Each structure stands twice: as C-alpha cells, then as structure tokens.
Amino acid sequence: MNGTVSSEIPIVASATGVTEVGNDRVKLLLVDDDRDNLLALQAVLEPLKQELMLASSGLDALRLCLDHDFAAILLDVRMPDMDGFETAELIRTRKRSRHTPILFLTGYRSDEQLFRGYDLGAVDFLFKPIVPEILQSKVAVFVELRHSEQLMRRQAENVARAEQKFRAVLEAAPDAMVITDQDGTIHLANSRTDLLFGYPREQLIGLNITSLIPDWTPPDHGSTDLPAAPAETRLTATGRNSTIFPVEITRSPSENDDGLLIITAIRDATEQVQSEERVRRINLELERRVAERTADLTRSNEALRQFAWAASHDLQEPTRMVLTYAQWVAKTAGSKLDEQELEMLNCVRENGSRLQTLLGALRQYIYISESGDEQWKTVDCGSAVHTAMSNLEGMIADSGATILFDGLPSIDSIEILIVQLFQNLISNAIKYRSAEPPRVRISAEARDDGWQFSVEDNGVGIEPEYLQYIFGVFKRLHGRQYSGTGIGLAICKSAVDRLGGSIWVESRPGHGSIFRFALPENGRK
C-alpha cells in the first residue's frame, strides 16, 4: 500500500465494550502496509478495549502522531517507501511522540536489525508470526503504563488546582493572610499583606512573621481538628518604614504533609482603636459631666439640708423667746391689760406655739432622712404601734379613739421610723375624724417581697383631686379647724422612702381613708 489512507480501512476502530471505571481509553497505533496483518492485529488487541488507530504506511503513522498521543505504537519493520525504522526515527524527532513506546513487528531475527531498532528507541521486538497472547500481554503493559501516567497527571492537576483555589481564596480574603510554619517563617502571603506592611511579596517569603508582629506566637497546639472560629488577639504591628499600628489577628493551625502550618489573618485595627478611643473619651466626658452634675446636686442638696436644719434650729430659739416672754408679760402684767389687749397677747402666744410645733415637725422630717444605717435591727411592729399610741396618749384619750391591731410582724427595719410612721398615720386619722368617734384599724399582709401594712380610719376621707398632694411637706388640705402641721404625711413618705418602700392612700370623701405602705424584705442596702 502506498501511504495514503484508503477509505475502506477504518482509521479509527470503534472499540466497544465497557471501559474500566476511572481509566480513560488509551490510544494504540497499529502500523502495517498489509491490510490483512492490520486486521489481524486489530482482532488480537480488540479485547483490551482501547482505542485502536490503524495506519497503512509510515507516512500515515507520522500524520496520526501529529494529532494523537499513543500509549504505544506497533510498527511493522518492512514497509515500502518508508520502512519501520525510518518511520520510528521520524516519530522520535517529533516532540509529542519522542517518548512513545514503539514495538517493532518483524518477520525475521537479525542482530543488526535489533541494534538499529533499540537504537531508535524501540522497547520491544515481536516476531511474526505473532502469538496473540504475547502481543496482547505486551501491549497490555503499555496500556497499564499509560493509565498510571494519566492517573498521576490527573492527581498533579488536582493538586495544582487546589493550590490555585487556595491562592485565590487567600487573595480574595479581606485581611492580610500569612502562612507560616510553627517558628513563624513565612511561606505564603497574599497581596493584602504587601499593602498592609509595605513589603514586596518576594521579601515577605522567608521572613519571620515576628518582624511584622513582634509579639506573634503560634496558637496553642492540639486543636488542629477544630474548625471553630479562632479567638481574635489585639497586637501591635510594625510596617516596613517602622510605622507602628494596631492589628487584630486570628491564628489557625493547619496540619498537612509538610507538618504544621499556621494561617494568620491580620486586620488593621487602627480605625477600630480610634473609634474605641473616641467612645472611651465620650464616656469619660459623660462620666465627668454626670459627676459634675451629681456634685452640683449634692452641694445644693447639702446646702438645702443645712438650711433646713439651721432654719429649724435657729428659728427655735427666737420662737422660744417669743413664747416665754409673752407668757411672762401675761403673768406680770395680765391684770393690768384690758380684754382686747389680752386677746392680742394670746394671739402672740398661740402663733408662737404653732410655730414651735411646725419647727419640731420639720426637725423630725430632717432627722428621718438622715437616720443612719447602723440603726437597722429587728423591729416588732406591734410594740412600735404601742409606742406610737403612748406618744399620742392625750390625743387618743381626748378624742375617744379606738385603735385596733393584730398580727403585726417583726421586720428588719429602723424602729424610730416605724414608730413615726404609725404615730403620724394614727394622729392623722384622729385629726381628720368625722362626727363619729375615730376608729383606726392596723393590719399587715405578707407579700412576695416583704410586707404591706394598712391603716384604715373612719374619718372625713380625702377628695380624689387632693390625693396627689397629701404626701408633700406643708400640704394641708384643711383649714384651721384641724390642727395638722402639714408635715405628718411627709414624714411618713420620707420614712418609707428611707426604708426602701412605698406609701399610698385609698380614700373616698365621707367613707374614711386607707393608708397603705409596703416595706421590702431587704430595704437595707
């Protein structure tokens, strides 16, 4: 045959059957000028289930070698125009087929031929007549070889792709990423690292990470299989031109074939530190202003307290003088005064007396808000009511009041305040009595967080619109027919506040009032 591919010869034999999973079919080139031989070879190699390509001349073979990679070439030595050796020589000159294994098929043994063949890179000689089993097994070796080669190439490609992917991830990361060994020697860094530290990449590789972050240490070992988010650490970094800036780093160990590698993500924390500093300054300023305001308030509170104290005390002396001397005048000159003059003198005495009562109540009010913590102890509320009643002995007797109480608890409190509370509430109930003889009922109920006391009377009651005023100082709702100082309920409020509780009133005009106060279990702070 003459070197052209005739149409009757299928150049590509379609190999049928199932290929082995994971192995691509490899290509085998069969070259013989004798068509029968070619068909015979094809028949023998068909069971290998690889892709067989047939060429009927050296030229055809060369042409096919340009376009295909063959696992092996079976080459007939004796062919017209271009014999097998010539063909082999030309195949070897081509880059693509330089290393393709060539098996020569020859009709007779000759040492000269063998030397020439091996010299041209032949891997084997097969002598005609071909023994199918031998041919098959020899070719199978090359198929196997090619398969292994393919596998290795694929693996190498995978590794390269993985590395490429890894580098892409590294580059896409928003932070500077530095991969080091445990000693800190840099193996890999992304472009953000160049930007952050100002070193060209090639200078970074091989550098120790501690020249970037002096306090860098490898993370604690033993957690390599934990993908949990690693903790952030705030450190100081040094840039190329000795700039110093804060960074936040996370380190994660990664075990691979080369040993333990450490991936350090580095984020410039300058802005964060600045904003933290701003927040800190704002907070400080706020605290300073609050402290200033508090000091102002404390000062003015203290001034007010001192004023109230001084007023109640300094007014007391002149009041006493007015009272005493009005009495003295009445005593020594009373008989010389006419009725109108005596009335005027009485007016002085009555008002002096009233002023004295007010000052006394004011002192009490101040005293309550100043009572110290050392006075906390167990207080028997029943005996506190007894004390209050004996302080109000005259008032109770004069009004014919009935005071009923039962089952009052013992609580942790300040005794004098509890006495004041009951005393002022009882005296309030008696002062603002109706036409009936006053009746006061005192009771207590346990609550989740302490006790609620009730002081119920049958007095005149309070108009709803006045309810909000009654606990203020000097808020008297009634005229002179009632003898209140206007401080009694303010004292109650102050005492309850001091004990950490609350006080309120429920009332309907003509139906009496119920004063209630709640004291917490642990009012002591």
Q: What is the contact surface with another protein in residues (CB under 8 A)?
A: 313, 316-317, 319-321, 323-325, 327-328, 331, 356
- Please, which residue, 122 or 323, has the CB nearer to another protein? 323
- Can you give the C-alpha Rg of the chain in angstroms? 56
Q: How far is the CB of 277 from another protein (least distance, A)?
A: 50
Distance of alpha carbon 179 from alpha carbon 177, whole angstroms: 7
- Please, which residue, 6 or 324, has the CB nearer to another protein? 324
Query: Would you say 230 and 239 are in contact if contact means Cβ atoms under 8 Å apart?
Result: no
- Please, which residue, 245 or 309, has the CB nearer to another protein? 309
Distance of alpha carbon 126 from alpha carbon 293, whole angstroms: 108
Buried b (16+ CB within 10 A) or exposed e, 246-281: bbbbbbbbeeeeeeebbbbbbbbbeeeeeeeeeeee
Host H or E run for residue 415:
helix 415-431
- Please, which residue, 113 or 423, has the CB nearer to another protein? 423
- Please, which residue, 320 or 498, has the CB nearer to another protein? 320
Distances from the Cα of 221 to the Cα of 189, 217, 252, angstroms: 22, 11, 10
- Please, which residue, 138 or 320, has the CB nearer to another protein? 320
Q: How far is the CB of 284 from another protein (least distance, A)?
A: 40
Nearest to 350 by CA among 164, 483, 217: 483
Q: How far is the CB of 298 from another protein (least distance, A)?
A: 22
Q: How far is the CB of 326 from another protein (least distance, A)?
A: 9
Host H or E run for residue 350:
helix 339-370
Distance of alpha carbon 47 from alpha carbon 69, whole angstroms: 20
Distance of alpha carbon 341 from alpha carbon 326, whole angstroms: 12
Q: How far is the CB of 384 from another protein (least distance, A)?
A: 20
Distances from the Cα of 517 to the Cα of 58, 266, 421, 458, angstroms: 118, 62, 9, 18
What's the per-residue H, E or C state across 265-288? EEEECHHHHHHHHHHHHHHHHHHH
Q: How far is the CB of 319 from another protein (least distance, A)?
A: 8
Distance of alpha carbon 488 from alpha carbon 469, whole angstroms: 13
- Please, which residue, 41 or 326, has the CB nearer to another protein? 326
Q: How far is the CB of 318 from another protein (least distance, A)?
A: 9
- Please, which residue, 79 or 326, has the CB nearer to another protein? 326
Q: How far is the CB of 359 from another protein (least distance, A)?
A: 10
Strand partners, 125: 104
